[in-house]
Structure 1
Amino acid sequence: MADLLTDASAERTPPRRWLAALPVAVRIGLIYVLARAVTTVFLVIAAELAPPVSRFGSEASIASFAAGWDAWWYWYVAGYGYPATLPLTDSGLVAENAWAFMPLYAYLAGAAGAIFGSWVAGAVIVSLVAGYLACLVLYRMLRARGDDAMASWAVAFFAAAPVAALFQIGYAEALFLLWLFLALWCVMQRRYAWLYLLIPLMGYTRPGVLAFALFLGLHGVARWFTRRRESLPARHVVHIVLLGALAVVVGFSWQVIAALATGDPGAYLSTELAWRRNWMLDPPAHFVPLEGFVQAAEFWSTEWKVPPALVLALVALAVAAFATLLLFDPHVRRLGADLRLWSASYAVYLLAVFFPQSSIFRLLVPLSPLWGAAAIPRSTAWRVGVLTVCLIGQWLWIYTMYALAGTALWTVP
């Protein structure tokens, strides 16, 4: 891990400008700080534009944004823990509650908040630091697949992405991305032993570790079929099998913990479905994999006044386009098999568990290594264009999800 913070020999080239002469950690830090400054300006403007009828009201501020939406739940977990008795709605169904939120980010933010005076301050600091470190690891991952310019531009796209405000609010995404990027980098470097630590860290930060379990399975299959090009020692086989099993156990363990704490075997899944009921008049009583997209097609067809089959066709088209990119796009293929397999695994995971709504933009951030493909073309005009689109998308996301928060169905981050 130590070489994450040191320049590799490949970077010891004569600098053409002063920026290139700086250490990687400093250069990435400058990109990240500049991106955070732009995001701060966007948040300030959004606070000024927030109407009285929005979730945050006319007195909205950066602090209220940082503590809003899911951040409130993490604050609740840090202060009050998890309920031993599940709250119920008037109709007797499980209501929204803290079991939907993993503990690691909440408690880590609480520890930082004890130093800096408030949980919100601690949460923002954890997100900021985790975001910077995630940028640094992303650079190292992509530097192994391309030159310095490609990796640096990819970090710029990531730091300024449409949902980059997540680095400055009380959400667990930045911390999860740090663990995820470290885990992917370790797999790429065949340093499997680190994953025995990183998998539990991922699993208790936010949902998604089951996608990593699928990735490890596909990674193991890929290594088996390519063992003549890259040797496959027995110890690697053992690591991959054990780590895949660990990821599955960690992925389902929160359901077991919730069941034991509440006495309800379906406590966690019932809690997750409580959020889905906000979008449906006739919500399901039980979770069924892949059902979310079918239910969403019915919901959005009503909202958009189009046939459900058309919505499903759009989903199928999006899935086919994404699969085509992973399989055939030359820029994506240059990222290597591991990052492509992770992207496919996470997409399958979302298809299995997600009910498509406006949170989809936030839930797509674990696919961020694909920014490397957008950075491969060497045209400066192309790269500046991508960065401009990122910033426009970021403003639209902040304005919609925070200035207009709660004023429409599509204003939920």
Structure 2
Amino acid sequence: MTTGVTASAPIRVWTRLPVAARIAVVYIAARVVTTGFFAVAAALSTPASRYGVSPSLTDLAIGWDAQWYWLVAVSGYPSELPLAAGGHVAENAWAFMPLYAWLSAAVGTLMGSWGAGAVTVSLLSGYGACVVLHGLLRERIGASAAMWAVVLFACGPLAALFQVGYAEALFLLLLFVALRCVQRRRWGWLYLLVPAMGFTRPGILAFALFLGLYGIHRFLRRRGDALPVRERVHIVALGALATLVGFSWQVVAGIVTGDPGAYLATELAWRRSWTGDSEGGFIPGDGWVQAAGFWFTQWGLGAWAGSAALVLLIVGIACALIFVPQVKMLGVEVRLWSASYLVYLLLVFFPQSSVFRLLVPVSPLWGALVVPRSRAWRAGVLALSLLGQWWWIYNMYGLGNAYWQIP
């Protein structure tokens, strides 16, 4: 009898904790594990790595894209676009939105360095995103499954982004709050969230598409779910605002540099590192076609195999979002957002190793992996997630010396 009571005591204590406190415990434990992975990867780092031998955790946290955000914070944006040897626009700071960089600088003034501020913003944003994700899923799949989705999110293959100088964690927090506002039909906050998302990282045009699809969905179902005029006005106005914000950075870059195509040319500079094409301009969807040919040729399979794989990938994802019962349980907001964001990536992105990082905005889909599932299944998914996290950290930070090892 005593053994039974003792065994259940921790469970009773756990269930009595507020949800935010339980999520904090999960999140802190996950960050300890991630820090351990970073420490081991640093110890295994070789002279061939971009970080050198035995880099510090600080070196890893403010490496790669974090250096661009730091440059934005301390130097701003160039008024004259730098040119590469081939005469085309070189990689430069215009590819990185300012909000995360500036917020990190503001926090960093209190903590002694930009890097400390950046990691703090990422850590706190990641925790906030976990809390909001739980609320976003709880009413759809239940509290227990929602907590498991948070566990997988906090421990996922890309969870290292919660403690490095990247803007993803802040964007996820803003995005999840925005989706929660749509879910609860609280439109006022979105007039602040949309610009904030738009100036944190690229992706707000996907939210504009999401609002359009959501408005169509609500209109078609208006007999069973009333769509008052006030809500119609908000949806249209917010969709227009998201579209305006989505193109505004191109306008800003054009005004400052005097080159209307400054932003797109800057984004294409990264793609040319892979394709070597210094003449081609931006064509929606062309990046995936180019990448399919590039990667499958690298693997010795031919460009035709890449095109076939791309078609199968698109069809498979579409079927999953439409027909898989576990995905349907997550609610129309999560499904429409996921579809919109994937369409956005299909139109603008050139797939390479960063594709894993760029997929984190569809993280609410973690909920589909935990309902209705056994504890053994969930534990297995968690183990695979942690294994994937170690693989990503070791390759992108510990090794980090090949073209496919860019975080």
User: The TM-score by the shorter chain falls in which range?
Assistant: over 0.9
Equivalent residue number for residue 78 of structure 1:
73
CA contact (8 A) 1:88 1:94 kept: yes
Give the aligned partner of residue 62 of structure 2: 67
Letter in 2 for 1:411: Q
Residue in 1 aligned with 2:7? Answer: none
Quick check: 1:132 aligned with 2:161? Answer: no
Name the counterpart of 1:95. Answer: 90
Tell me which amino acid in the other structure corresponds to 1:198. Answer: L
**Aligned residue in 1 for 2:402:** 408
Aligned: 1:152 with 2:147: yes
Structure 2 partner of 1:386: 381
The residue number in structure 2 matching 1:177 is 172
Q: Which moved more, 1:322-331 or 1:256-265?
A: 322-331
Which runs of structure 2 are paired with 1:319-334 in the superposition (5 Å)?
A: 319-334=314-329
Indicate whether 1:186 and 2:159 are aligned: no
> What is the alpha-carbon distance in structure 2 between the residues aligned to residue 92 and residue 411 of structure 1?
27
1:210 aligns with 2:210: no
SS in 2 for 1:288: coil
Aligned to 1:246: 241
Q: Check 1:284–1:377 CA distance in 2 against 1; reply closer, same or farther (3 A cut).
A: farther
CA distance in 2 between counterparts of 1:382 and 1:165 reads 23
Distance of 2:314 and 2:283 partners within structure 1: 20
- Any residues of structure 2 matched to 1:4-19 within 5 Å, and which? 17-19=12-14
253-262 or 281-290, larger mean C-alpha shift: 281-290
What's the offset of the Cα at 1:284? Answer: 4.5
Q: 1:17 deviation in Å?
A: 2.4
For this pair of structures, how many residues does the alignment match? 398
Q: State how far apart, in whole Å, the 2-side matches of 1:340 and 1:295 are.
A: 28
CA contact (8 A) 1:102 1:204 kept: yes
Residues 377 and 383 of structure 1 are in contact (CA less than 8 Å); yes or no, is this contact kept in structure 2? no
Shift of 1:378: 3.4
Residue identity over aligned pairs, in percent, reads 60
CA distance, structure 2, for counterparts of residue 383 and residue 319 of structure 1? 27
d(CA) in 1 for partners of 2:104 and 2:309? 39
1:266-297 per-residue CA deviation (whole Å, 9 max, x = no partner) reads 00000000011111123443111000011112
User: Matched residues in 2 for 1:341 and 1:305: separation?
Assistant: 36
Indicate the residue corresponding to 2:232 in structure 1. 237
Deviation of residue 16 (structure 1)? 5.6
> Which residue identity does 1:279 align to in structure 2?
W
Query: How far apart are 1:377 and its partner, in Å?
Result: 2.2
Is the 1:161–1:390 Cα contact (8 Å) retained in structure 2?
A: yes
* Residue identity opposite 1:377 in structure 2: P
CA–CA distance in 2 between the matches of 1:313 and 1:178? 36
Q: Matches of 1:242 and 1:236 in 2, distance apart?
A: 10
Q: Does 1:220 align with 2:215?
A: yes
* C-alpha RMSD of matched pairs (Å): 1.0
- Mark the runs of 5 or more structure 2 residues left unpaired by the alignment: 1-9
**Partner amino acid, structure 1, of 2:190:** L
Amino acid of the residue matched to residue 61 of structure 2?
A
